[in-house]
């Protein structure tokens, strides 16, 4: 962002000098036609979400990441460890996955809910959703409730979690009341004057230091976004003025105040009225077009660089040809958001007794099925299996797949196996087993006899 500071400092320096000269000319025989570009840096105010979403690079980055996350289903897995080993199994009979993917119980669908949460997370650094739990219920439900849930999900049985709905709350409607203890931090969440405990909300926070509030891109990159919006406003101003360049009207003789006011009014109408595209100058008046400053020329040259910097803030990087690799985009921009989402779900959407055996995860297999690194990962698995470092069920566990129950190590017939505990040598090719402690050494003399 060094060129931004250089851009502003040099621009104001050049315009201050040019404005002083112009003011002297105005006092004598010149009338200014257009205001300086520096006026766009002053008076625009602080950057906010409505202004930032007008920046194409910012809006497109937000939309790409939100849509990518919204299309990925969230699944619930159960982790178990038995005598046969560790394995994970997808839980398909839990109503919480329906709340997250299909019907939230609120006015938003599952995709709209994920889209809204990710947007608030990126822009404001804070995404909140109220977990609407039914009071005085257990995990067992009566037949009527179970039948109603079964019809909606079209499955035989449903584990009722006691959560009626998950309600998205806009970040600007949330207030945090925290204590002052820097070690044992605690806080309450306030919505329209009503206080709630932290465990009543699903919270996804970006770059947080207190676990209650985060910092979004809008707050961390105000200067970058403000500069981009200023350039956008400058371009809009040129369009509104029909592309007419700024300049001066020079008079051979000193003009009266009435003449200057009349010329100023005509020029303003020329720039502001799209229907009027001509002005008549009397004899002795000459319009002199002002040339673009070097900073104004840099606006065009650095616009692409500025857009790339905004995208890089989101983790979206272009190659030398200007293209964005999908898998690079997914890993650098989408996966970090998914990881934060999963951590928050496992913390706030699971009961304490469930946290040792259940976990939520986005199913990214479909999104990454053509990822070049997938081939590399499975080649590493194959090497580990061939070297007997891993077993098949251990590989399936790492891929969130159910075990096959194959607790065997693959060996060749040419191998000889030695058990250091029993001191036995087993030859699979012949099926013979020999105890090394019982083998007597036979010398060369005894062999000749």
For the purposes of burial, counting CB atoms within 10 Å of the CB of 193, is it exposed (0-12), middle (13-18) or buried (19 or more)?
exposed
For residue 38, give the DSSP letter. Answer: G
pLDDT string in tens for the chain (449-residue length): 444 444 444 444 444 444 444 443 333 333 333 333 344 444 455 789 999 999 999 999 999 999 999 999 999 999 877 666 677 888 988 999 999 999 999 999 999 999 999 999 999 999 999 999 986 544 444 444 444 444 444 434 445 678 999 999 999 999 999 998 999 999 999 999 999 999 999 999 999 999 999 999 999 999 999 988 888 887 777 666 555 556 666 666 676 777 777 767 766 666 665 555 556 566 566 666 655 555 555 666 677 788 889 999 999 987 767 788 888 899 999 999 999 999 999 999 999 999 989 999 999 887 887 777 777 778 888 888 888 788 887 888 777 777 777 666 666 666 777 777 788 887 777 777 888 777 654 445 544 55
Enumerate the H helices of 130-283 as residue ranges. 143-153, 217-220, 222-240, 257-272
Q: Closest by alpha carbon to 248, among 280, 288, 281, 277?
A: 288
Distance (Å, whole) CA 42 – CA 415: 80
CA distances from 3 to 11, 55, 137, 159 (A): 12, 19, 60, 58
Tokens of 123: 């822009």
Tokens of 269: 């109408």
Q: Do 233 and 44 contact (CB within 8 A), yes or no?
A: yes
Return the pLDDT at 160: 61
Which segments within 401-444 are labelled E, that is strand? 417-419, 424-427, 432-435
Return the pLDDT at 296: 57
DSSP secondary structure letters along 92-124: -SBHHHHHHHTB-SSSSBHHHHHHHHHHHHHHT
Which pTM value belongs to this model?
0.68
Q: Do 161 and 96 contact (CB within 8 A), yes or no?
A: yes
Distance (Å, whole) CA 166 – CA 130: 6
Return the pLDDT at 325: 84
Q: Do 201 and 133 contact (CB within 8 A), yes or no?
A: no
> Which residues pair with residue 79 across a beta bridge?
88
> Which residues pair with residue 84 across a beta bridge?
none
For residue 390, give the DSSP letter. Answer: S
For residue 254, give the DSSP letter. Answer: P
Return the pLDDT at 308: 87
For the purposes of burial, counting CB atoms within 10 Å of the CB of 45, is it exposed (0-12), middle (13-18) or buried (19 or more)?
exposed
Distance (Å, whole) CA 367 – CA 64: 14
Distance (Å, whole) CA 78 – CA 357: 6
Distance (Å, whole) CA 165 – CA 130: 8
Indicate the angle between helix axes 56-70 and 335-348, nearest 10 degrees: 50
Distance (Å, whole) CA 302 – CA 230: 13
Distance (Å, whole) CA 389 – CA 393: 12
Return the pLDDT at 373: 73
Distance (Å, whole) CA 16 – CA 20: 6
In sequence order, which residues have a C-beta less than 8 Å from that of residue 413 and are 6 or more positions away? 428, 429
Tokens of 46: 């602080």
Structural Rg of the chain based on CA atoms: 35
């Amino acid at each position: 962002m060094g060129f931004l500071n250089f851009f502003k400092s040099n621009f104001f320096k050049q315009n201050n000098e040019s404005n002083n000269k112009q003011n002297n000319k105005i006092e004598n025989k010149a009338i200014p036609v257009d205001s300086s570009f520096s006026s766009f840096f002053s008076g625009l105010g602080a950057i906010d979400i409505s202004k930032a979403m007008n920046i194409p690079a910012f809006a497109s980055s937000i939309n790409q990441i939100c849509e990518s996350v919204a299309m990925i289903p969230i699944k619930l897995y159960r982790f178990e460890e038995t005598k046969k080993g560790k394995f994970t199994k997808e839980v398909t009979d839990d109503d919480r996955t329906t709340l997250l993917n299909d019907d939230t119980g609120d006015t938003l669908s599952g995709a709209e809910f994920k889209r809204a949460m990710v947007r608030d997370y990126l822009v404001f650094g804070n995404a909140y959703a109220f977990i609407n739990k039914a009071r005085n219920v257990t995990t067992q439900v009566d037949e009527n409730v179970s039948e109603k849930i079964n019809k909606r999900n079209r499955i035989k049985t449903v584990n009722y979690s006691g959560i009626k709905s998950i309600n998205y709350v806009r970040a600007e409607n949330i207030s945090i009341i925290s204590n002052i203890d820097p070690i044992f931090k605690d806080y309450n969440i306030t919505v329209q004057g009503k206080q709630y405990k932290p465990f009543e909300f699903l919270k996804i926070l970006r770059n947080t230091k207190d676990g209650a509030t985060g910092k979004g891109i809008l707050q961390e990159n105000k200067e970058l976004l403000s500069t981009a919006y200023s350039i956008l406003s400058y371009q809009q101003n040129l369009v509104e003025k029909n592309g007419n360049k700024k300049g001066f009207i020079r008079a051979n003789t000193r003009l009266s105040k009435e003449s200057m006011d009349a010329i100023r009014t005509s020029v303003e109408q020329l720039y502001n009225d799209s229907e009027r595209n001509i002005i008549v100058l009397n004899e002795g008046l000459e319009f002199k077009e002002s040339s673009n400053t070097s900073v104004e020329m840099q606006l065009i040259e650095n616009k692409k660089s500025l857009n790339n910097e905004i995208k890089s803030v989101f983790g979206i990087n272009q190659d030398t040809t200007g293209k964005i690799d999908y898998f690079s985009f997914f890993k650098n921009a989408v996966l970090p958001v998914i990881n934060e989402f999963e951590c928050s779900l496992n913390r706030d959407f699971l009961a304490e007794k469930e946290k040792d055996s259940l976990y939520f995860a986005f199913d990214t297999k479909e999104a990454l099925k053509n990822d070049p690194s997938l081939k590399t990962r499975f080649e590493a698995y194959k090497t580990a299996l061939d070297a007997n470092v891993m077993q098949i069920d251990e590989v399936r566990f790492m891929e969130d797949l159910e075990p096959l129950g194959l607790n065997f190590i693959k060996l060749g017939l040419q191998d000889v196996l030695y058990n250091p505990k029993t001191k036995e040598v087993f030859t699979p090719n012949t099926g013979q087993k020999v105890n090394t402690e019982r083998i007597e050494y036979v010398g060369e003399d005894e062999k000749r006899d």
